[in-house]
Amino acid sequence: MMHKSSFRTTRGDIRTLIKDAQDLFHEAAATTGEKAEVLRHKGSELLDTAVVKAQNVQTAALETGKEIAATTDDYVHENPWGAVAVSATIGLLLGLIISRK
C-alpha cells in the first residue's frame, strides 16, 4: 500500500516528467533535423514514464480503497450495533452542523 508521502512524491515526479517533456518538445519545435527527432523521442519517453507512474498511483489508490472497504465491511459484520451507533452519531453531528447554518 502506498502512503501519502509516496503519493506526493510520485505526483511531484509526474509533474517534473511532464514539465521536462514539454521543455524537450519546445526545444524540438525550435530545432530541425535529427536533433529535433531525438528531442521528440526523449519527450515521448518522459511522457510514457509519467503515464506509467500515474497508472501505478491509480492502481495503488484502488487497492487501498478496496482494503478500506473490506476492513469496514468486516468491522460492520463483527460489530453491527457498534456500526449503527457510529452511523447514528455521525448523522446527529451532521444534522447539528447543517441546522446551525
Task: Tell me the pLDDT tens digit for each residue of 23-43.
Answer: 888 888 888 888 888 888 888
Whether the predicted model's global pTM rises above the 0.85 cut: no
Whole domain around residue 24: which residue ranges?
4-100
Residue type for position 23: D
* d(C-alpha 85, C-alpha 44), whole Å: 54
Cβ contact 25:40 at 8 Å: yes
Number of domains present in the structure of the chain? 1
Q: How far apart are CA 69 and CA 50, in angstroms?
A: 28
Give me the pLDDT at residue 29, please. 84
Reference 28, options 47, 11, 14, 41; nearest CA is: 41
Residue pair 53/45 in contact (Cβ under 8 Å)? The answer is: no
